[in-house]
Amino acid sequence: MQTSIFQGEELVSFGERLATSDQFKALFKEGMDLVAEAAAYLDGQGREDVKLLPSAGALAYAVESMRLTTRLMQLASWLLLQRAVNEGELTPEEASAEKHKVRLSRQDTVSNEDMFAQLPLRLCELVDLSMRVQARVIHFDELIYQPLEARRKKTSRPSPVQSQIDQLKAAFGPARI
């Protein structure tokens, strides 16, 4: 995937453009709405749902709801940080320096599949939605903050043809090829 193009003499980063795009605005709204929905569920119907679970289910509920809350707080922090950059409250450099405080990492469920399936449906939906938003935020983060050179190194592979040409040059000298 190409992440930048040349425009005149300057390199234009798709990540930087993506950060201020309508896609980011939609992701921001989706992420912040999800935070509000999860908080409303966990503080409301979720309290009733957990009472109906056996003790092992209640423990799984507690673990998954804690991980959900942690995941959503990380996402909200990243989204708010990026919005501050977009609105000129922070420079990209300041945001990059602050970003180390946000531990943005993929988190899967810890409950096994059978136990997860026994949890309240709404909690499972919120967990699934949060993991999808998390994957998108991590992708945005990589496009925006990963240095261009690191992206190039990650995506470029040595040419097998070039290695054969180098071997021929070594064997016969550059003048004959």
Report the CATH number that the domain containing residue 56 is assigned in CATH.
Answer: 1.10.8.930
Mean pLDDT calculated for residue range 116-136: 95
Could you tell me if 71 and 136 are in contact, meaning their C-beta atoms sit under 8 angstroms apart? Answer: no
| Spatial separation of the C-alpha atoms in residues 71 and 51, rounded to whole Å | 24
Question: Does residue 61 lie in a domain region?
Answer: yes
Domain count, the chain: 1
| Spatial separation of the C-alpha atoms in residues 145 and 82, rounded to whole Å | 11
Q: Which of 96-105, 117-126, 158-167 bottoms out in mean pLDDT, i.e. has the lowest?
A: 158-167
Confidence of residue 54 (pLDDT cuts 50, 70, 90): very high
Question: Does residue 155 lie in a domain region?
Answer: no
Q: What is the pLDDT of residue 151?
A: 47
Give 168's Cβ-side CA count (13 Å radius). 10
| DSSP string across 122-175 | HHHHHHHHHHHHHHHHHHHHHHHHS-HHHHHHHH----HHHHHHHHHHHHH-GG
Question: Does residue 27 lie in a domain region?
Answer: yes
Angle value at C-alpha 72, between 81 and 48, nearest 5 degrees: 150
What is the span of the domain harbouring residue 84? Answer: 4-146
Which tokens sit at 159?
A: 């040419």
Question: Does residue 53 lie in a domain region?
Answer: yes
| Spatial separation of the C-alpha atoms in residues 68 and 151, rounded to whole Å | 30
| Spatial separation of the C-alpha atoms in residues 48 and 90, rounded to whole Å | 42
Residue 99 CB neighbours (<10 A): 18
Q: Is the pLDDT of residue 90 over 90?
A: no
Q: Is the pLDDT of residue 143 over 90?
A: no
